[in-house]
Structures are given as C-alpha cells and as structure tokens.
Structure 1
Amino acid sequence: MGHRILVAGTWDTKNDELGYMRDVIRAQGGEVVAMDVSVLGDPAFPVDISKHDVAAAAGSSIAAAIAAEDENTAMQIMATGAARLAARLQAEGRIDAAIVLGGTMGTDLALDLVSALPLGVPKYIVSTVSFSPMIPPERIPADVQMILWAGGLYGLNSICKASLSQAAGAVLGAARAVEPPQRDRPLIGMTSFGKTVLRYMVHLKPALEARGFEVAVFHATGMGGRAFENLAAAGAFAAVLDFAPQEVGNHLFGSAISAGPDRMMAAGQAGVPQIVSIGCHDLVDLVGWHPVPEQFRDSPFHAHNRILSSVVLDGDQRRAVARAISTRLGRAKGPVTLLVPSEGAHEWDRPGGPLQNKAGLEAFLAELRGACPSNVRLIELGCHINDAAFSDAALAIVDGWIAAGVLPGAAQAMRAG
C-alpha cells in the first residue's frame, strides 16, 4: 500500500488544480484521500470526504454555512471541520501527510488544518499568498512547508503546473522519508541564539544528555520561538530552559520578528518545569531591510546581516520587558526558577562590549526584582550568561528537580526508551 496523502481544497472551483495534484501523487505511487471544503458548489468528481462531512465535523451543516450569508463565517465552519477530520484521520492511521491548496480563503482554512497535525506529519500548503506577512506567526506550525502557487489563480497552465507538481512530489516524498520524533527519552526544550551570541548550550546539551535527556535547541528569531511554544503546548517537553526571551520584547515593541503574543506562556500553562533567564532581553530584532522605527531612531544599532538587525533598549523599555516577562511567569502552573546573571545577557553585553549598557541592565534587574511574582524563585548570579558558572547553576537546578522527583533521573530516563 502506498503512502496516503490528504488532498484538501475547494473541489468545486479548484477541481482541475486539485485533480492535477492527485494525479501526480498517484503517478508516483501514492494514494489520495480527497477532502472537499467547498460551500456553494459541488466537485466534478466524487471525493472521499464531502463538504457535508466537513461541516458536520464542525457541529454545523452546509445549509447553516450558506444561511450565514457571510463567506468568512462559512469558511470558519469548514476550517473547524477540516481540522478535526484531518486530526482524526491521522490519529487513526488513515493518512500519512496532508496538502492543502487555496487563495486567501483556502490558506486561512489550510492553516487550521495543518496546525491540527502533530510535528513530524508532513504538511504542505500551496497558496497564492505563501510567505505573505498576512500570515501571523502564531498560526504557522513548526514543520509546515509552503510553496507559492504562481500563476494559478484561475485554471491550469505550465507555470502553475510547475508549482503544483513540485508540491505533490514533495509531500509524497516527505511522507516516505520522514523520521518522526521519537519519545524514547524525556525532551528538554531550550531557546538560544548562535554561539557567537549565547554559548550555554555548548556545555548544557552534553551534560543534560548524560543525565538521560534529549535536548532540542530553538533559534529564538520568531518562528523558532513559535515552534517552541507549539511543542510546549502539546506537552512535548519534560522541562524547558527558556534562556533567550528576546521574542517577548520583539512582540512588545511591534517587531515583525515575533513569535506571537503568547510567547513564554505555553510551558507555564501546561505545568512544565521552567528555568528562565534573560538572554538578549535588551535587544529588539528588526527586519534588516525595513526602515528603523521612529521609537528606535536614536538607539544603538547592530546590523547582524542583511536580513536581521538589532537595536538596544533603554532603561524604560527594558523595565517594560521585565514586567512582561514577570506577568507571563506569574501565570505558570508548574515550578519556575528565574536565573539572572548580573554581569551581562549576551556576548556583546560585556565590559567594553559594543552593545553594553550597564545602567540599562541595572534598571532591568531592579524592575525584575520588584515585579517577580511569588510563584517564581529568583536566583541572581554574579556572572555573565556565557560563563560556565551560569550553566553550572542551571544544571544544579535540574539536578535538584531530579532529586525531588520533579524530573526523571538518568536511570529512569534511559528506561523510558
């Protein structure tokens, strides 16, 4: 039996395009489960999952969607039903991957559908608005793939066939090749930036692995933080070491490099033990080719590369970040330790460093002390975040949690595999 690919879209208006992808998948040895998310029309050929099935899965009906006389309301009914059915099909082993095609309406629905599928299940969106800033980061799952449906707004042609055939082959190839995440060891999620900026993971990763954990390090530049939050919400982590909360400030100050409004909240809501620190809290990342916003015109500036730049926050701005972090941690349902290195929060933030602002750091720390909620254990360290003393302190907390039974010990973790 070939790998089964869910092919979803409005089969009433996109029958030719969806049918073309179906044929490409079948020609390559795959199988297709066709889902129709139309409202007004009917597909030219029979499908496996009808629009009526989709609406019913949302607790509604096509008649109700039409009666709403509002295309947004109707499509949200279909999006809810499509997402529920896709999740059910995958859980029952009836599909191995999914591909969804659409314009803005279809993409809105597609984001709900693919978000319902776990990490490791190949998920593709073929869209006329792929990579558009219209798509908010919080709606993009960690491992989705997108391709621009170029020249495909109406009907088939050689331009759009190039995109459609690539997407069809890619989703089938991914279904054949994917190595889903293994749950043989407890997983620790960590946030960071590259080693030139933050270095603690170089010491911590092997040390945590020696204790029986698997460690996944997330690049906290918007989508990395989004993936981190998605997995935390799904219960993937035994603990998190959220040492690079810069995305909180990015969102607070309106940067396009955002992980969404709920950054630093999912682990706490799930009751996952957290060690949190302040890596790069003093920076806001900006799209390098965008004009610098007026509020940062006089701020120290660092061009990391042609696509990413950073500005340094002043004291008042840092105090706002401290309050935002404290508010988020105050909602946590599990144990939280806030580990604060008082000598600097990244490699550029050292004595004589190009982005150091000692007064700004002191303002941030003072606000953090005052705003720290009662459920958070605050530990201040007289070291830099990249010093071995910081990593050793984090390991001591982990070891304490192991001794207390909050986390599994090495022997237990290994037996879990």
Structure 2
Amino acid sequence: MTKTILVIGTFDTKADELAYLIARIESQGGAVLAMDVSVLGQAAIPVGITKHEVAAAAGTTINALIALGEEGEAFAQMSAGAATLTRRLHQAGRVDGMIALGGTMGTDLALDCAQALPLGVPKYIVSTVAGSPLIAAERMAADVQFILWAGGLYGLNPLCKSSLSQAAGAVLGAARAAEPPRFDRPLIGMTSLGSSCLKYMKRLHPELTRRGYDIAVFHTTGMGGMAFERLAADGAFACVMDFSLQELVNMLNGSLVSAGADRLTGAGRSGTPQLVAPGAADILDLAGWQDIPERFRDRPFHMHNRLIKSVAFNADERRDLARAMADRLAAAQGPTHFFLPKGGIEEWDRPGEAARDPEGLAAFCEAAESAMAGRIGLTVLDAHINDAAFCTAVLARLDDWIAAGIVPKGRPENEDQKTALGTAADS
C-alpha cells in the first residue's frame, strides 16, 4: 500500500529544499501531504495544509501572529497548531509518518509535532542542530530520529541533497517497514545501567517472561530514561521496575547525562504501580567532554570511555539524594514500593572494588529509611542489588500485587498456545 508522509516546513524560505525532499519521496512511490508552517511569506509551491489552517488550529490567525512583532512567540503558537494537526491527521489515518526540516526554529516546532505522534509512527527531523545539547531530553519523542542537515541552512547544494535524499528514503522506508507495537501481553518497564554495573535484569527477565509479561529494559544514560518516563507517564506499562536512578542524581547535580527534571515522576503521575530501587545512585556520570563541576574536582574519577566519566558522591550528598527520591515517590498517585539493598547498589561498590564506600552507603541507607518511613512501602534487604536475594524480594512483591489485582495478570506463552489450539479445534 502507498504510504503517505507528512512533510512539515516553512514553504516560503525553504521551498526549494522541501520541493526536493517531496520529489525524492514521490520518486520512490510514496505520497506526500505538505504542511506549511511559515508566518511572514507565502508558500512558493502548493501545499495540502496552509499556514492559515495551522494558525487556526492554535486558536489564532496569521495576521495576529504577525502583529505580535516577535518571531519566537509567533512560531511557538504555530508549533502548537502544527502539533494539533499532526495528531489529528494521524488519528484520521491520513498520514503514516512525518518528516520536518529546519534550523533552530524549524527544529523547535518539529519536536512538538513528533511528540504528538504515538510510539511506532516514523518521525524524522532533518536539522542543522541534530545532536546538539540545545535539544533537551524532555523535548524528544521516545522514538524520534534525527538527521544532521549538513550545509543545509540556505539553498540546495550537493551536501544538502545528500542529506535530504537519505532522509526521504529513511522516512518512507520506515513507514513501509514499521511494525507498530502490539501489546498482546502486559508490558513491564525496567531501567538498568548496562548489564555489568547492574545485573538484576539477567535474573528477572526470564522470571517475568515465565509469568506472562513482556519486558522493555531502558538504558539510563539520558535518552533511555527520557523514553521510559514518557511511556510511564502515558500509562504504557502494567508495572515499572525502576531500579537505576542514576539519571535523577545526574540531573540534580548538574550533569548533562540527564533524562530531564521529570525523572522518577512519570509512573507516579499516571498511577502505574512502581517498584523502585536506588541502583547506581552513588556516582555522578558526566559527559566525557563535560567539565567536572567545581565541587567535585577533588574527588577520584573514573573515565569509563570517551563518552562518560564518573565521580563519587560523599555521605552528605547521598543523604540529600535519598530525601529527594523519597519526596518524588511520596507524590505518586499509584502503589509504590522501595527496595533498599544495604549491601550495595552497583557492582563497583562491592568489597575490594573502586567505588566501595561503606560510610557513604550507610549514610544513604539511614537517610532513605528515615525519609520513606510511613510515606512509601519499604523493604530493607541485607543484600547487594546484584544478589539473587534482591530479585527474590522484587518477585515476591510483584506476585503479591498480581494476586491483589494491583498489577494485571500476565499471559504466559503456554496460555497463548492453548488459545490458539482451542480456536483451531473450534474451527
């Protein structure tokens, strides 16, 4: 079937580039619906959705936006209108994916449009600032794709055409190949920091699968936590196992390796049952190229690779972090339970390892117990987070919640097989 791609851009100033992009999509058998989001000028080529329709979707008019005399404010309102129309078009089945292009203004608008589409719908942004720290994690849709628009600020040229032709193939190919997520079994969202630092997922994954759940594990290096929080806030999970809070402590201490200010709040806002543990909350991860904040410069640090380096928290900082975790969890609208493994919270704080700090760990545990008592369900374990005992305690709590109807019962694979056999017999 022909796939229709929503192409978004300013068709007054970037008409040549957009026309080239549209031609490349159509040359591969795709259909296009063009949306003009310019304000001052007129679209230089025909479009399916005019700037006046975009402004109307934001509850305003182009003349009113021009009268503002402020480009940024005008474009912010156009962003709201464009996002509204993007959502409506997809809900009506008129588009199968989107692609937008621009500089900072166009990228700002495109980010809102991408967030308006559900997970699994191809969404591409061709941007002069792709990969830039200007783009905050919380602005990005969980599965948005960026393509750097090299040499594309003004006018067509061989470099620009190379980027746009690849983008055309990417979005149309994705629309043809996309398999939207089907949630035939309840989905559990889990966080972890790799599989060496935190190992519990290796034990939990097969046990959860046996109980009839699908499991999505998110890597807590900024973008993973952002996607996790967005989905948790949308109620996508039957239960969350948020056992790696490293992004939260990063955000609270000035690191760019952050999932945004909403970390550890999404499940709480949606009322999703959440099981939480402080995995890797004893170290601050920084971007490899980021300067170490002044107050951490006297600490030992570890260069994990060229992308990430780490420094340790002291006892007072760990007490503050424990209280911050408790405050966020106490605001949750759904069942919440915290597991406190007093034997350690990541692999490198075991006896003899580089991050071992018994006094700091004890300070964190004492503060966490005090801050959570009477506010949040709490299990204190004389075990390490990577020990089998931690997983046993987690599964026991989950099973209690399943029995009580707090977490929907899973659908084991053998039940799917029985259903299929029964259907075949009936026919």
TM-score (normalised: structure 1): 0.98
SS at match of 2:205: helix
How far apart are the structure 2 equivalents of 1:70 and 1:136? 23
Letter of the aligned partner of 1:77 in structure 2? Q
Output aligned runs, 1:9-28, within 5 Å: 9-28=9-28
1:193 aligns to what? 193
Output aligned runs, 1:213-362, within 5 Å: 213-362=213-362
| Root mean square deviation, CA, Å | 1.5
1:149 aligns to what? 149
2:70 aligns to what? 70
Deviation for aligned residue 1:227: 0.5
How far apart are the structure 1 equivalents of 2:308 and 2:218? 17
SS at match of 1:309: strand
TM-superposition CA deviations, 1:335-371 (whole Å, max 9, x none): 0000010000011011111101110011111111222
Deviation for aligned residue 1:302: 1.6
Letter of the aligned partner of 1:194 in structure 2? G
Greater mean deviation of Cα atoms: 281-290 or 163-172: 281-290
Deviation for aligned residue 1:84: 0.7
Deviation for aligned residue 1:77: 0.8
CA contact 1:115–1:140 (8 Å) conserved in 2: yes
How far apart are the structure 1 equivalents of 2:373 and 2:252? 20
SS at match of 2:150: coil
Deviation for aligned residue 1:374: 3.6
SS at match of 2:353: coil
2:388 aligns to what? 388
SS at match of 1:263: coil
Letter of the aligned partner of 2:405 in structure 1? G
CA contact 1:327–1:373 (8 Å) conserved in 2: no
SS at match of 2:39: coil
Matched pairs, number:
417
2:423 aligns to what? none
Change (3 A) 1:376 1:140: same
CA contact 2:211–2:412 (8 Å) conserved in 1: no
Q: Does 1:177 align with 2:171?
A: no
2:122 aligns to what? 122
Q: Does 1:379 align with 2:347?
A: no
1:41 aligns to what? 41
Deviation for aligned residue 1:137: 0.9
CA contact 1:326–1:373 (8 Å) conserved in 2: no
How far apart are the structure 1 equivalents of 2:104 and 2:288? 27
- Which runs of no fewer than 5 residues in structure 2 stay unpaired? 421-427
TM-superposition CA deviations, 1:154-184 (whole Å, max 9, x none): 1111111000111111000111111111111
1:2 aligns to what? 2
How far apart are the structure 2 equivalents of 1:49 and 1:172? 20
CA contact 1:87–1:116 (8 Å) conserved in 2: yes
How far apart are the structure 1 equivalents of 2:196 and 2:77? 47
Deviation for aligned residue 1:233: 1.4
How far apart are the structure 2 equivalents of 1:371 and 1:71? 47
2:159 aligns to what? 159
- Give percent identity, aligned residues only: 58
Q: Does 1:52 align with 2:82?
A: no
* Structure 1 residue ranges (4+ consecutive) displaced by more than 3 angstroms after TM superposition: 410-417
Greater mean deviation of Cα atoms: 296-305 or 338-347: 296-305
Letter of the aligned partner of 1:379 in structure 2? T
TM-superposition CA deviations, 1:4-51 (whole Å, max 9, x none): 000000001110001100000000000000000011111112210111
Deviation for aligned residue 1:187: 0.5
1:133 aligns to what? 133
Letter of the aligned partner of 1:37 in structure 2? V
How far apart are the structure 2 equivalents of 1:340 and 1:368? 8
How far apart are the structure 1 equivalents of 2:411 and 2:191? 26
TM-superposition CA deviations, 1:99-124 (whole Å, max 9, x none): 00111111110111101111111110
Deviation for aligned residue 1:410: 3.4
Deviation for aligned residue 1:292: 2.1
Letter of the aligned partner of 1:69 in structure 2? G
- Which runs of no fewer than 5 residues in structure 1 stay unpaired? none
CA contact 1:248–1:324 (8 Å) conserved in 2: no
TM-score (normalised: structure 2): 0.95
Q: Does 1:364 align with 2:367?
A: no
Deviation for aligned residue 1:3: 0.5
Deviation for aligned residue 1:69: 1.0
SS at match of 1:8: strand
CA contact 1:126–1:147 (8 Å) conserved in 2: yes
